[in-house]
Amino acid sequence: MNTTTSTVESRLHADTSTLESTLAASSRSLVVGKRGWWAGRDLTDWLFAAVVLLGAAFAFTRYQGSMDVYEKGILLCATPAMIALGWFWRPLRLLCVVVGAVSLLAIQLYLRQTDNFGADLAAADKVFLLKYMFSSQSAILWMSVLVYMSTLFYWLGFFKRDGAHSAAEAIGSRLAWGAVGMALIGTMVRWFESHQIGPDIGHIPVSNLYEVFVLFTWLTTLMYLYYEQRFKTRALGAYVMLVVSASVSFLLWYTVAREAHEIQPLVPALQSWWMKIHVPANFIGYGSFSLAAMVALATLLKTAPPRSLAIGLIGVPVGLVLVLLAFRAGATLTPETVAGLDGWAGKMAGVAVFLALCVALRGPLTARLPSLESLDDLMYKAIALGFAFFTVATILGAFWAAEAWGGYWSWDPKETWALIVWLNYAAWLHMRLMKGLRGVVSAWWALIGLLVTTFAFLGVNMFLSGLHSYGTL
């Protein structure tokens, strides 16, 4: 008995010693982990940081005359943020270096030809590389082509076999990276071009629908590419790039219909430094909500009962077509309005046909999707990120409104619908975190949220008027 007791005590002592050693080692590893974020940086990390710092110093030295105090502050804050992002997600490094180098090349090509004010913007039609590649309009057109090609290759991946689907999707991913790069190059060069038109005209290109659709395109694509790497699947690319392709289609239509690519001076309400931070924060929200909606579509195709799926996905656009046709038949309208209604009815009919094909082909379209848990987690992360930035953007917008119009809130249609969007996603997050909302109901809610967000973004401009009427179609 004494021998048994002694043996048990010895084992307990040994286990206690082992536990203490493990805890001590864990404590040491935690301490090392805290230091490791800095000490663990390799040579490429510090080289990237040096390149970003040199680029920021060059931008400040070269362009400080065109920067106000707020823009200098943004540059100061953006520099460490860019370094941190490059350390966190390595693919951003090459993107930053390529965009910076090509943008500087385009600027130099412009500066070789000058007029009475600065660079001669007519060089965009004379210099080969500017005309066909790197002027802002050329780069944005290349962005559009690459988005369409990326979407095509992602969709081809669904119908390839014997490993060919992976190759097609890999091409789609690379094309998406190319689209992001060309969009950023176009944005940077357009920013430079705006400063060459005349004094006090230059501005960050986020001031009208043309410019913000470019912003939406590259932001949404870049966020998807991060999640693609994070969740180790390219099967969602076809879904997410659909909404990006739709935005590019609108951008091209808007360019032709309104000649929106022409750089215009800012209206007085937009001549504010708040625009530089409010609009990008807003579109991180829009991009995240759109990404979540496309993940929700994939979830529904994978899990929803066929009947409810057909009624929900096909019935809604068909119902909109019927409403538009009924309104067209029952009201006295101008020829322009009739043409517009017919155009939207045709678009909705096309959407209905496409969704009907998705329902019919749901087998191959969902065969390689991630697990439902991964889809749900991705949808939640996207909505949480979008909600955080949309909240910040709404607060910034209130400060901007106080400066421009003398009041933080005026129940303008745009503001009202922004509040509706915020409440919608606040309720979604509340139901998930407090009530455990998951599955088909969660996905339908996220998908319907895209309709609410789209109306807040475009529908208000199309059908309503108010203080934000400078963004009308």
For residue 387, is it within any domain? no
Please report, as a single letter, which amino acid is at residue 229: Q
For residue 144, is it within any domain? yes
For residue 302, is it within any domain? no
Q: What is the structure's pLDDT at 1?
A: 47
For residue 220, is it within any domain? yes
- By percentage, how much of the chain surpasses pLDDT 70? 87
Whole-model pTM over 0.85: yes
Which of 440, 338, 425 minimizes the C-alpha distance to 389? 425
For residue 335, is it within any domain? no
Low-confidence ranges of the chain (pLDDT < 50): 1-5, 7-8, 11-12, 14-15, 18-19, 22-23, 25-35
Which of 410, 395, 450 minimizes the C-alpha distance to 281? 395
Exposure string for 393-404, b = 16+ CB within 10 A, e = fewer: bbebbbebbeeb
Helix or strand or coil: residue 384? helix
For residue 104, is it within any domain? yes
User: Taking the CB of residue 30, how many other CB atoms lie within 10 A of it?
Assistant: 9
Which of 147, 277, 281 minimizes the C-alpha distance to 224? 147
Q: What is the structure's pLDDT at 257?
A: 79
Which of 214, 37, 211, 177 minimizes the C-alpha distance to 99? 177
For residue 117, is it within any domain? yes
Q: What is the structure's pLDDT at 4?
A: 47
d(CA 55, CA 50): 8
For residue 118, is it within any domain? yes
Q: What is the structure's pLDDT at 409?
A: 83
Q: What is the structure's pLDDT at 30?
A: 40
- Interacting residues of 326 by C-beta distance below 8 A, sequence separation 6+: none
Q: What is the structure's pLDDT at 383?
A: 97
Would you state the torsion angle of the CA atoms of residues 163, 165, 166, 168, taken in this order, to the nearest 10 degrees? 130
The number of domains in the chain is: 1
The length of the chain is 473
d(CA 420, CA 429): 14
- The domain of 243 spans 91-263
Q: What is the structure's pLDDT at 471?
A: 53
Which of 423, 422, 392, 398 minimizes the C-alpha distance to 410? 398
Which of 86, 93, 378 minimizes the C-alpha distance to 233? 378
